[in-house]
Each structure stands twice: as C-alpha cells, then as structure tokens.
C-alpha cells in the first residue's frame, strides 16, 4: 500500500540526508518535492500545503540546525507530522456500558460496507464478544443473502425481516428488531449494515439519519473506498454533515498505491480512522494505528503489527513443538506445509514484507507474487504421507509421479527438495549455535569457567 507515495517521499528525504547541514535552500527543495509527492498521491491541496509548512517551520528551528545528523532529524520531523496527520493515536470503538452496543455502518455502494460488517463481527468475536449482524440494506439485490453468506463463514447470526422470500423494505424496523433480538439472546454487540448508493443522494442520507434517530447507536462508522482518493474525502464530508459519524474505515487499502484518502480524510472531517481493510478475506481487517502507518509510508516497517499477526497464528505450545522438531532434525515437509499455511493467514506476502524495515522497496523491486507458494503446496500435496515424512525415499520415478500430479516439472520437484535440505542444514546450525550460547550463559550464571 502507498507504494508510489512512499517511494517519492523516501527519495526526497534521501537527497537531503547527504547534506552536511540543513539550510533554507535544501529544506525548501525537500518541501517542494514532498508537496509534489503528496499532490500526486491525490492528497487534498490544503492538507499538503499545511503539512509541508509545518515541517519546514520545524526544520528551520535552532535544535535541528545544530544537529550533526540533519537527515535523521528530518526523517523524525516528517514522521511526527505524518503521525499527527493520520490521527496521532489509535481510537477504539466506543462500547456501551449497558449492552448491546449498537454500531451503525454507512457508506456508498461498492465501498465494501457489507464485507466490513462481517469482518468487524469477526474482529469482536475474536475478542470474546457475541456480535449480531442486522441486515438493514433492504434495497440492493442479494444484499441480505451476501451478509448471511459472510456471516455463516464466521459463525455469527444475522437478523433480517423477510416476507414472501423478499426483504421487507423497512430498514428502521430491521434495526429495531435486531436490537431486541440481541437483548433476548444476550448478544452484546449489534452491527447494522445500511443501504448504500452509487453516489450521495438525499434519499440515502435521510434513511441513514432516520435509523440513527430510531436506534441511537453508540458508534457510527463510515466505510470509504480508499482507492477513490478525493472522491472518498468529499463523500466523507457529506456523510459527516448529516450523520456526525464517529470514525472512518478505509477499505481496499491494499490496492491504494497513492494514499490520498488516508492522508486527507482526518484533516477534512476531523474524525479518526479506526480500521483499515486490506482484502476480501474475513481476517483482512486491522485496527488503524497512525504511528505504524506513518512508519510504513516512510519505509521504516511495522514490526509491532508483524509480531501481532504472527502471534495470532502461533501459540507458545506450537512454537515449542516446532523448536523441538528443528533441534531433533524431525522437521519434515508436512511441517513445512503447515508453516506455509500459517504464513498465508498472516496476509499477502507483499503486505507482510511491507511490515519489515527496508523490505517494502525490495519486495516491490522483486515483484513478490502472493501465489509464490502455490506450486510448492501443489508439489507437497502430491506426495504420500510417507514421502512427506521421509523425503529421502523420493527416487526418480516418485519425483516424476509427483511432478505429473502437481502440474509441475521434475526440476521444480528437485529444486524444492534441494531448498528444503539446505533449509534443514541452516536450522540445525542455528539450533546448535543457540544451544551452545545457552550453555555458556548457564555456566556463567553458575560461576563456572
């Protein structure tokens, strides 16, 4: 995400990092480059101008002028201002003191609103809550069916009102009945999916405002397609004037190479960004942290998010079992396949690479394919359990059979087996070095030479 913006801002900072000291001239040149990068990223003009003016004023201050490392100081200044532009700190959804918490979700048609409702339900379910989805998008064909399909995949109930196999065209009734149903079933969160339109119109605004008055939601979230740039900002402004929503959800952020919506929307509507949606899968939703996003834009990575995603897929018991297998050289192709599946669940490979400092540019240059593991998985799945457990038994005829079964060439099978063998050697070396260091550390603790 934000590849284009990140690349251009990074280039501007790199040019000044080689300067011996900060002067009005080189700061002015850098600000011109950054302002151009922001405008090309479809950032609101006033937002871009105010941002660069603040950085310029800070950069020409006495504290920076006396610095022996002007490049690092400027990176810090740009990072601080980017973080402030994106919202300073994480803002959570406000939960009601007396359940159920009612969350009203609004947005234009095609923004990913219905999918977000299901993702949000999964997010709360993962935290131990018991959400209920309300199908109040009663006009778009198959909207109720779409929500029910998504809800089944995460095992969350949906409340809808049907007559004759069709949704009753009364969104207020659906929302009210859903809240009553949640109370009866002791569900602590109700997420109301409302109707959208292809563009902002009076009818949609009126209905959304009517639902708001009828159910008095604890939180109103506006879902916006981040790829639409300034159109997204204008839509947010129109919705905010009528609904006074509490937060913004940026959908399709994985496809946004520019970043105009993310960098403009908070300054324009003065409401925090609360979630970022980065794909179609139900787990492709992350709380929005301004500081982490600023780090990614500047190519500094996001180790905290990386660790959090990894912890979702690996618990301590499983990690311990894996370490034991590696130490005993018992790690086989079945284990390798299982680790691939866990990595896949962390998100796209390009997104994971972007969380590691310095890796986003390398990933972009290498053009990491999210299907890079597909042929490896096909080869492993074409093996018998015995072959996965003991790759050494794979003779020529077995390799030819595996290649045919996986739709690959024998050389692909040979390459995978060689890479796996080399990886096991590396694991053995690392494990031996780690054990030796632990022994030395233990001896020192016990006072032995």
* DSSP for 177-242, written as a single string: HHHHHHHHTT--EEEEEEP--SS--HHHHHHHHHHHHHH--SEEEEEEEGGGTHHHHHHHHHHHHH
Rounded to 5 degrees, φ, ψ at 348 are: -70, 150
Structure letter (DSSP) for residue 110: T
* DSSP string across 255-273: G-SS-HHHHHHHHHH---E
Structural tokens at position 323: 């370490």
In the predicted structure, residue 302 carries a pLDDT above the cut 60: no
Domains with residue ranges and CATH for the chain: 3-86 (1.20.120.140), 101-298 (3.40.50.300), 307-442 (1.10.260.30)
The answer to whether 225 and 112 have CB atoms below 8 angstroms apart is: yes
pLDDT at 311 > cutoff 60 = no
- Alpha-carbon gap, residue 29 to 27, rounded angstroms: 5
Q: What is the pLDDT of residues 123-143, one digit of tens each?
A: 999 999 999 999 999 888 788
pLDDT of residue 292: 81
Q: Tens digits of per-residue pLDDT, 33-90? A: 888 888 888 888 888 899 888 888 887 765 554 444 566 677 778 888 888 888 888 8
3-state DSSP assignment of residue 9? helix
Q: What is the pLDDT of residues 317-371, one digit of tens each?
A: 666 666 676 666 678 888 888 877 777 766 665 566 555 554 455 444 444 555 6
0.95 exceeded by the pTM? Answer: no
Chain centre to alpha carbon of residue 393: 42
Model confidence pLDDT, tens digit, residues 172-214: 999 999 999 999 999 999 999 998 876 777 787 888 899 999 9
> What is the C-alpha to C-alpha distance for residues 260 and 288, in angstroms, rounded to an integer?
16
Provide the sign of the torsion angle of the four alpha carbons 274, 277, 278, 281, taken in this order: positive
């Amino acid at each position: 995400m934000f590849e284009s913006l990140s690349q251009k801002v990074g280039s501007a900072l790199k040019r000044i990092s080689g300067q011996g000291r900060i002067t009005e001239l080189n700061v002015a040149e850098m600000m011109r480059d950054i302002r151009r990068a922001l405008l090309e990223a479809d950032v609101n003009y006033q937002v871009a101008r105010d941002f660069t003016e603040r950085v310029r004023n800070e950069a020409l201050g006495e504290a920076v002028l006396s610095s022996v490392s002007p490049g690092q100081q400027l990176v810090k200044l740009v990072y601080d201002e980017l973080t402030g532009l994106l919202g300073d700190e994480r803002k959570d959804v406000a939960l009601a003191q007396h359940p159920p918490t009612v969350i009203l979700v609004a947005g234009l048609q095609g923004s990913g609103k219905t999918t977000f409702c299901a993702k949000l339900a999964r997010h709360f379910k993962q935290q131990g809550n018991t959400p209920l989805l309300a199908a109040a998008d009663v006009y778009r064909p198959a909207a109720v069916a779409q929500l029910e399909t998504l809800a089944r995949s995460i095992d969350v109930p949906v409340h809808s009102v049907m007559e004759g196999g069709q949704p009753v065209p009364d969104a207020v009734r659906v929302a009210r009945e859903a809240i009553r149903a949640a109370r009866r079933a002791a569900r602590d969160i109700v997420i109301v999916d409302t109707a959208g339109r292809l563009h902002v119109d009076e009818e949609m605004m009126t209905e959304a405002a009517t639902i708001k008055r009828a159910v008095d939601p604890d939180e109103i979230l506006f879902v916006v397609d981040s790829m639409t740039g300034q159109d997204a900002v204008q839509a947010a402004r129109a919705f905010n004037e009528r609904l006074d929503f509490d937060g913004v959800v940026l959908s399709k952020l994985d496809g946004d190479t520019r970043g105009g919506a993310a960098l403009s929307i908070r300054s324009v509507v003065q409401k925090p960004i609360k979630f970022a949606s980065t794909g179609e899968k139900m787990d492709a939703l992350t709380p929005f942290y301004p500081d982490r996003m600023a780090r990614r834009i500047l190519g500094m990575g996001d180790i905290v998010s990386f660790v959090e995603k990894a912890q979702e897929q690996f618990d301590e018991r499983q990690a311990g079992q894996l370490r034991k297998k590696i130490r005993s050289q018992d790690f086989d192709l079945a284990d390798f396949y299982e680790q691939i599946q866990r990595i896949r669940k962390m998100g796209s490979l390009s997104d994971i690479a972007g969380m590691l400092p310095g890796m986003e540019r390398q990933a972009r240059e290498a053009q990491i394919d999210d299907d890079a593991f597909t042929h490896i998985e096909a080869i492993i799945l074409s093996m018998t359990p015995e072959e996965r457990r003991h790759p050494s038994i794979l003779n020529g005829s077995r390799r030819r059979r595996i290649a045919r079964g996986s739709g690959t060439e024998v050389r692909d099978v040979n390459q995978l087996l060689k890479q796996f063998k080399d990886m096991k050697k590396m694991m053995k070396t690392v494990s031996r070095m780690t054990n030796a260091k632990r022994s030395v550390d233990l001896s020192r603790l016990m006072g032995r030479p």
